[in-house]
Structure 1
Amino acid sequence: MTAAFPTRRLRRLRATPALRRLAAEHALVPAQLVLPVFVKEGITAAQPIASMPGVSQHPLEALAGVVDEAVAAGIGGIMLFGVPATRDAVGSGAVDPDGILNRAITLARDAAAGRLTVQADLCLDEFTDHGHCGVLAGDGSVDNDATVDVYAQMGVAQARAGAHILGLSGMMDGQVAAVRAALDAAGFAHVVILAYSAKYASAFYGPFRDAVESTLQGDRRTYQMSPANAREGIEEALSDIDEGADVVMVKPAGPYLDILARVADVSSVPVWAYQVSGEYALIETAAAAGLIDRERAIGESLLGIRRAGADAILTYWALEAAGWLQDGKDLA
């Protein structure tokens, strides 16, 4: 009778919370989390974003408080996005030292005082009146090379403002090499480049466009990647590494865990992932309807991204999840 039972019982290591923690193959710490922060020009109080419950646009004057909260939570950094009062065809506010994003960088850098990394989104979509990530050619398409020239200027402006890490999210060919060269020539060889290498044309970005008040008409499928392609995502990451990227990114995270895992397997630099606004909104909406356990769903989603190979995660739950981890809560 005894011989009929299995000699190997994998359930033994699942019997108690302490055993499960000890046997865990992957863990998450607050320092591996980065909080996206939206700073809007011309407001005096935080403005909630309807499609992202719990997330707000912040006035510039409140940014130091956000930084202090992030430091207290022990997270690794904040990623700044600017929402300007005015926009134009070439996104001139992005390179203006007095533009909302560059002012936010300086304020955050001073408030952080080395206690966390200040990261900045390097893209034109928030600053153009047409909502695309670059400069338009005469036929209405995005002009890759003209856009890359602007990115180089934008990178130097953000470095001068004090950014530690530049998040190149525009998906233009050659953007990493151009920004790296511009930074080095201007004396900013120490500034880190985070390349959004495998950034897919995704429906999961919808709420983010509310957050930055995007004016986009049409879509970005001519420069962001097709969800059908996997090998191309690996090639994009390897190309960015060759051009000098210090970190590469997969975005979105949840629907593209296979890409994340494959990039992590071949990358010689850290690999990050962005848990985007649609992933956030789906869990929040389902939890509000009583369909899922909110905390467990958040924890499971973050651990899944970490398990797939992410060294750090951009997530709108960064502060909350870091608090749970500091309190010793299990994420799963």
Structure 2
Amino acid sequence: MTATGTDTQAGRATRVRRAVGERLGDRRPTSRQVVGLVAVAVAAIVMVVLLARTADVADVPNLEAPEGFVIAPPPTTAAPGETAPTLPGVAGTTTTITPPNEGNARIDGIVVGPAGPVGGAVVRVERFLPEATQVVDAIAGPDGRYELEGIGGGRYRVRAFRAPAFAQATAELLFLADGEDRALDLTLEGFADPRVRLVAAPNPPFVGQPVNVVVLVSDRVVDDDGTVRTGPLPGVTVTLQASGPFTSLGPTSGTTDGSGQVAFAFECTAPGSTLLTATAVVAPTTPGGGRPPPPAVPAGPRPTLPGDSTAPGAPVTPGRGVS
């Protein structure tokens, strides 16, 4: 009886709470409602940040300084009321100074040409540094001997020349240790005489057909830097002779034009081998301006190089075989 009464009271209390809850409304949010409220709050914060970042500066109100306050001007090194000075440019060029070639090494030897020692030849010694090239010249004596001492060690290029007739075809490359005494003889080639070349077309020629022969005469001069320069030699008298089965189709003598060339025509009359010989005579002065005679060489007579003409005024006969 007691237990039943107790249950009845508990049931009444539960029913009363439900009735009160229904009347007042249940104010406690569920878990889904809490998650929804958090998501809405985060979205609102993100929207505010984006709006703040994308706002145009023009939309920001121009706040004026309160009365009594002065806005400071931008910082400057110029005095108040003055503009910054403009510095004028400095005229000149940048110059790189190459240190002198000094040390304890030594190079000596003799300069020789086709006819013997070449006195007065320039021996150019170039020392290669990482950022520069040191150049030192030595002058050979009358006996062709030269000497260069007190130079530093390193990589060197050595060559000799004497304008306008002698030059070294290939320079000497060497490594010189500091304190080393190196003996180095140098050999020069002669370039005082003109160069005569003969070109035939077709080569070999055909029997019964004409063959054109062009003779080219060029001048060779060594400049003050030791470089051999070649140019056409106009106004040179050239005589062409043919031995064997060739018949001339025109004059066999002519004068080189402005390009240093003169042309001839022959006809091959029979098969076999023959030799065409071109004789060029170079006078001290020629109708085309010519070349002056080169200075005499104290060491001896000027040599005759194979395939080239001799000194001015003397005929030479370099040739090319044509078969």
TM-score under structure 2 normalisation?
0.21
Which of these two proteins has the greater Rg computed from alpha carbons? 2
Structure with greater contact order relative to length (CA < 8 Å, sep ≥ 6): 1
TM-score under structure 1 normalisation?
0.20
Which one has the bigger strand percentage? 2
